[in-house]
Amino acid sequence: MPKIEIDGREITVEDGLNLIQAAERLGIEVPHYCYHPGLSISGNCRMCLVEIEKMPKLQIACNTKVSEGMVVKTTSPKAKAAQSAVLEFILINHPIDCPVCDQAGECKLQDYYMDYGKYRSQMEIEAKVEKRKVVDLGPQVVLDQERCILCARCTRFLDEVTKTSELGIFSRGDRAYIDLFPDKKLDNPYSANVVDVCPVGALTSKDFRFKARVWYLQKTESVCTRCANGCNIDVYHRRGQMYRFRPRYNPDVNQYWMCDEGRLWYKELQKESRIMRPFVRGEQDFVAATWDRAVSSTVKALTESKEQHGANAVAGIIGAKATNEEVYLFTRLLKEQVGTDRIAGLFLSPADAFHDDFLIKADKNPNTRGLQALGLLNGGASVADILAAAEKGEIKALVVFAADLTAAFTQEKLDTALENVQVIVCDTDYTNMTTYADVIMPIGTATETDGTFTNFAGRVQRVKQAFPPPQQSKPGWEVLATLGGKLGGFEPTSISEAFAEAAKNTPAFTGLTYGKLGELGAPLAG
C-alpha cells in the first residue's frame, strides 16, 4: 500500500493503481482522452501529462503506476502548460461542429477546453485537414472522421471486449483516420458501446442523433429489463419521454457495457399500445372507469367468488416482468386476504432466444429469479394447473398481473378455460390477454415505478421511478397495496415499506434493505 502525495495531499492506495485512478481517490481529475478504465492502456493522447518529483520529464498518468513516496503535481505550471499544448495540438484539425454535434454538453474536448484551453491559439493554420463525415458504420453507429482524436478507445473496445475488430486506424500523421476494415460492418450485438467510449463526437448513435440536447435530459438510475442479466443503466428522459439508455458501471454485472437490444429497449416501454386508464367490461364492450370503480369491481369479483365457491375459486398469475415488491404484494394479497393456493408465476422466453457467454441471457425476463425466490416457479400451482381447474369450472375469478397468457397458450385453450371466469388484468400495454379481461387496471413500466428485480445470478437490484406512469396508470405496487387494503390486509404506504416486509417474510431476502442494495445491488441471502 504505497503512500503518495498528489497536489500536496497525501494518500495511501493499493498497489497497481495508475496515477489517474489514485488522483480520483482524492477527487482530482487528471485530464485524459485515451485512458478508459474498462480497456487496456494505450497512452497515445498525452493529455494526462503530470509532473513527478525526481523525474526529469513529465510522465503520462495513465501509464504510471503508484510507488512509495511518489510526489505528483497535476496542476503545476509545467503540467498545465503541457496539457494545454496537447489540447491545442488535438484541436488543430478539429472541425467547428459543436453547434450541430450530438456530443455537445458531454464532450471531453469542450470540457477540457474550458479548463486547459489556449484561448489565443499560436497556430496559423488556414485550412484544416478534411476527412469523411457521416460515415455509416453499421445499424447503430455513424462516424465523423474529422471529429476523431484517434484515441483508439473504439478499436480497443472492439479488439478486447467484443473481439470482433471491425475498426482500425489507417494512414499516418494528420491524415490518419478511423475506418472499417474492408468488407466489415460494425454490426455486433454490443456495437453501440463504442459511442459511449468515444470521448468526442466522432462516433454517434443513429438512434439518439439530433433527438435532444443532453443538458435538457434528466438521468435516473435503473436496470435493463430486456433480459435476466439486469445490466445497470441510466435512463435519460424529459417530461415523461425517454430518449436513451446508457450502461452504468457495475463490476459484478455488466462492467461498463450493455447490449444494443437492451439499449433500444426504452422504445418498447413507451409504445402506442400503453393502457392509459382503467376499464371495466360493459354490456357490449369495455367502458372507461374510475380507479374506484375498477378496484371495487375487482374486490367484488374476488370476495363473491370466495364466498360462493371457496377461496380456491380465486386464482392469480403473475409474470416475471413484475418487480419483487409486486410479486410479494400479489402473493400476499391472494394467499392471506383471499386464502387461495392457486397462485402461479409465468415466465415467457422464446426457446431459440439469442444469448451469448458475455451479458445477453436467453431468459428475456428481468425477474424470473425473483419469482423463484418469492416462492413461485418452485412446485406449487402452475399456470397450466390453474387453466385446467378453470376448464373444469373450479375457478371463478382470475387476477393476471403483467403476464400475457396468449403468448404461452392457444386461443382455443384460453377461450374454453376463461369462458366463465371473471378476469382482472393489470398490465402496462394492451395485449391479446386484455381481450379476456372484465377489469383492466393500467400499471407503470420498470422506468415508471420504484422497486427491485433479481437477476439470473440472484443479485437484487433497484429500479427508480424516472417519471410517473402516463395519464391515469399507476405503479403496480400501489394498485396491489390498494387492493390489499380494501380486502382488509396489508397496505404499505411506500415501496420501501413493501420491500422491508418482503425481506422480513422471505428467507431469500433476509437482511436486505434498500440501503444495503445501494446503487449496485446485493446478492440474495444464502
60 or 344: whose CB is closer to ligand FES?
60
What is the rounded CA–CA span in Å between residue 112 and residue 441?
50
**Part of the chain binding ligand SF4 (CB under 6 A), chosen from 50-58, 98-106, 252-260, 414-422:** 252-260
CA angle 474, 479, 480 (to 5 degrees): 145
150 or 302: whose CB is closer to ligand SF4?
150
What is the rounded CA–CA span in Å between residue 245 and residue 267?
10
Among 30, 66, 137, 149, binds ligand SF4 (CB under 6 A): 149
DSSP one-letter code for 491: -
Residue 34 one-letter amino acid: C
* Nearest to 304, CA basis, from 468, 137, 103, 438: 438
What is the rounded CA–CA span in Å between residue 169 and residue 90?
16
The least distance separating ligand SF4 from the CB of residue 258, rounded to whole angstroms, comes to 4
The least distance separating ligand SF4 from the CB of residue 247, rounded to whole angstroms, comes to 7
43 or 489: whose CB is closer to ligand SF4?
43
**Part of the chain binding ligand SF4 (CB under 6 A), chosen from 197-205, 317-325, 406-414, 469-477:** 197-205
CA angle 62, 66, 67 (to 5 degrees): 150
The answer to whether residue 192 forms part of the interface with ligand SF4 (CB under 6 A) is: no
Binding mask 215-244 for ligand SF4 (x = CB under 6 A): ---------x-xx-xxx-------------
Which does residue 369 bind out of ligand SF4, ligand FES, none, counting CB within 5 to 8 angstroms by kind? none
The least distance separating ligand FES from the CB of residue 41, rounded to whole angstroms, comes to 8
For 107, 127, 420, the CA distances from 81, given in Å and listed in that order, are: 21, 25, 80
Alpha carbon of residue 474 to chain centroid: 21
Binding mask 345-384 for ligand SF4 (x = CB under 6 A): --------------xxx-----------------------
**Part of the chain binding ligand SF4 (CB under 6 A), chosen from 99-107, 194-202, 274-282, 481-489:** 194-202
What is the rounded CA–CA span in Å between residue 393 and residue 481?
29
Residue given cell 495513465 in the structure block:
62
Looking at 258-310, which runs of residues are DSSP E strands? 279-281, 286-288
35 or 265: whose CB is closer to ligand FES?
35
Among 150, 374, 397, 424, binds ligand SF4 (CB under 6 A): 150
30 or 502: whose CB is closer to ligand FES?
30
DSSP SS3 for 317: strand
What is the rounded CA–CA span in Å between residue 342 and residue 364?
25
Please state the length of the chain: 526
Which does residue 153 bind out of ligand FES, ligand SF4, none, counting CB within 5 to 8 angstroms by kind? ligand SF4
**In 313-382, which ranges are continuous DSSP H helix?**
324-332, 368-373
Provide the binding-site residues for ligand FES, judged by CB under 6 A: 32-35, 43-48, 60, 62
The least distance separating ligand FES from the CB of residue 63, rounded to whole angstroms, comes to 6
Under rule CB under 6 A, which residues in 169-188 are in contact with ligand SF4? 178
What is the rounded CA–CA span in Å between residue 216 and residue 205?
18
Binding residues for ligand SF4 (CB under 6 A): 148-154, 178, 197-198, 200, 202-203, 224, 226-227, 229-231, 254, 258-259, 261-262, 359-361
